[in-house]
Chains A and B, each alone.
Chain A
Amino acid sequence: MSTAPATLEKVSVIVSKGSLDGIYPPLILANGARAEGIEADLFFTFFGLDAITRRRQEQIRLATVGNPGLHLPTALGGLPGMSAAMTRYMEWKMEQFDFPSIPEFVEMIADTGAGIYACKASTDLFGLGKDDLIDCVADIITVGEFYARAVGSQIIYT
Chain B
Amino acid sequence: MPIHIYAGHSVVLDEDGYFTEPERWTEEMAPYLAAAEGITELTADHWQVIKVMRAEYHAKGSGPAVRALAKISGVPVKELYRLFPKGPAKVAAKIAGIPKPHSCI
Whether A and B are associated in the same complex: the answer reads: yes
Which A residues fall within an 8 A CB radius of B?
28, 31-32, 34-37, 98-100, 108, 111-113
Residues of B within 8 A of A98 (CB): 67-68, 105
Within 8 Å by CB of B87, from A28, A34, A99, A111, lies A34
Within 8 Å by CB of A100, from B78, B87, B88, B105, lies B105
Whether B104 is near chain A, meaning CB under 8 Å from some CB there, is yes
Within 8 Å by CB of B67, from A36, A37, A100, lies A100
Instruction: Say how far B54's CB is from chain A's closest CB, in angstroms.
Output: 19
Residues of B within 8 A of A111 (CB): 76-78, 81
Known: A28-B104, A28-B105, A100-B67. A35 touches B77 (CB 8 A): no
Instruction: Say how far B55's CB is from chain A's closest CB, in angstroms.
Output: 18
Question: Are B78 and A35 in contact, with the CB atoms below 8 A?
Answer: no
Which B residues fall within an 8 A CB radius of A?
65-68, 76-78, 81, 85-91, 104-105
4 closest cross-chain pairs (CB), A and B: A37-B86, A37-B87, A111-B78, A111-B77
**A33 and chain B: residue at smallest CB distance:** B87
Instruction: Give the A-B pair count, Cβ closer than 8 A.
Output: 41
User: How distant is the Cα of A98 from the Cα of B65 in the complex, in angstroms?
Assistant: 11
Question: Are B105 and A112 in contact, with the CB atoms below 8 A?
Answer: no
**A36 and chain B: residue at smallest CB distance:** B87
User: How distant is the Cα of A100 from the Cα of B86 in the complex, in angstroms?
Assistant: 22
Known: A36-B90, A37-B86. A112 touches B77 (CB 8 A): yes
Within 8 Å by CB of A32, from B68, B81, B85, B104, lies B104
Question: Are A37 and B90 in contact, with the CB atoms below 8 A?
Answer: yes
User: How distant is the Cα of A31 from the Cα of B105 in the complex, in angstroms?
Assistant: 7
Residues of A within 8 A of B68 (CB): 98
Instruction: Say how far B101's CB is from chain A's closest CB, in angstroms.
Output: 9
Within 8 Å by CB of B89, from A35, A100, A108, lies A35
Residues of A within 8 A of B87 (CB): 34-37
**B37 and chain A: residue at smallest CB distance:** A37
Instruction: Say how far B36's CB is from chain A's closest CB, in angstroms.
Output: 14
Question: Are A37 and B66 in contact, with the CB atoms below 8 A?
Answer: no
**A29 and chain B: residue at smallest CB distance:** B104
